[in-house]
Amino acid sequence: MVPYLFYPLLASLIAILLSAAFFLYAKQNKGNVTVAKYILGGVGVASLITILVCFSVYYVREIKPIEDYSSVNSTILTIGAVAMILIIALLYAFFGRKSNPKSDTRSVTYAAVSVALAFALSYIRLFKLPQGGSITLVSLLPLMFYSQMFGIRKGVMVGFIYGILQAIQDPYILHPAQFLLDYPIAFAAIGLSSIFTQKGIKGVRGVALFASGAVLAVTMRYAAHVISGIFAFAMYAGEGYSAVAWGFLYNTFAFVDMAIALAVGIVMLSNGAFRKILNNVTYASFPQERPEVPPVVATGEETETV
């Protein structure tokens, strides 16, 4: 990665981490939380703008002048990125409307741990593809569980941040819209994993619903990669394949990555104690969904539950 791209991204990441730490400090010590929240939000917006500007400069300087990349379809890429953002935003707004919009200490702390864990696991690559993308050791699972505990609104935001980290870790960028599709948008979609289980994971049916949500989320990620593959990486299509066929085939690695994470996740969710821990955090984020405990009435001879 070129220095004028790497250092602004690194500075943005450090600024976000420092502002998040300040927010947590203010929460813990009953400081001016409102100010800390606005600082965190402002730093986040400024970092996003910085990243987009840097990648735009990178595209103009490094990619656009190269004739080999003339097949990059800027118009369709941009339309595709906007369409994916709108779809995720609609699901975010409609299905995430019951979640607690406030960012408390627990959700921010769990977000930091989930992103760090997912980022560390992403370095354990079972297979790395030659044109970008890899199959990892359950790196998606912490993001999926975070979405389950705190809802898809926070899950989408954490996935978005993780996607930017992925761009820093292993950049393969030809166009600003392609960057959005392959990194922030693709991983923001993972935050939709709990779309069917925001009331908690209850028994076998709940595990099946969680798996269905994970499949939907990864299908959204796959769609983002396919749009990018067809309209940004057409020149890399395998011999004998059209850009469309290659885009659909090549990016199936996303489902393999999901299958590994989901297999481990289902084993973990099969444990009732683990589900209870996960559900307790979920109910704290969605207090209206906590199951009512039947009242206890004393009868004189023994205690019975009504």
Task: Give the pLDDT means over successive 10-residue stretches in the chain (306 positions).
Answer: 76 82 78 80 82 75 64 84 91 73 72 90 89 88 93 91 83 81 94 90 92 95 94 86 92 94 94 89 69 47 42
Residue type present at position 262 = L
Are residue 140 and residue 276 in the same domain, yes or no?
yes
Residue 302, in any domain of the structure = no
Query: Across the chain, which distance is largest between two alpha carbons, in Å?
Result: 89
Are residue 116 and residue 256 in the same domain, yes or no?
yes
Single out the residue of 140, 259, 271, 143 nearest to residue 201, CA to CA: 271
pLDDT at 36: 82
Task: Provide the domain limits for residue 54.
Answer: 1-65
pLDDT at 258: 94
Are residue 81 and residue 17 in the same domain, yes or no?
no
pLDDT at 219: 96
- Cα(236)–Cα(232) distance, rounded to whole angstroms? 9
Are residue 97 and residue 242 in the same domain, yes or no?
yes
Burial-class residue 215 by CB neighbours within 10 Å (0-12, 13-18, 19+).
middle
Residue 22, in any domain of the structure = yes
Fill in the DSSP letter of residue 192: G
pTM to 2 decimals?
Answer: 0.79
Residue 208, in any domain of the structure = yes
Alpha helices in the chain (DSSP H): 3-28, 33-58, 74-95, 105-121, 141-169, 176-180, 186-188, 203-232, 243-250, 253-269, 272-285
Are residue 123 and residue 19 in the same domain, yes or no?
no
CATH of the domain at 77: 1.10.1760.20
Are residue 160 and residue 30 in the same domain, yes or no?
no
pLDDT at 298: 47
Are residue 60 and residue 164 in the same domain, yes or no?
no
- Cα(164)–Cα(179) distance, rounded to whole angstroms? 9
Residue 299, in any domain of the structure = no
Are residue 44 and residue 99 in the same domain, yes or no?
no
pLDDT at 61: 77
Radius of gyration of the chain measured on its C-alpha atoms? 21
Q: Which residue has the tokens 């809802």?
A: 151
Structural domains in the chain (count): 2
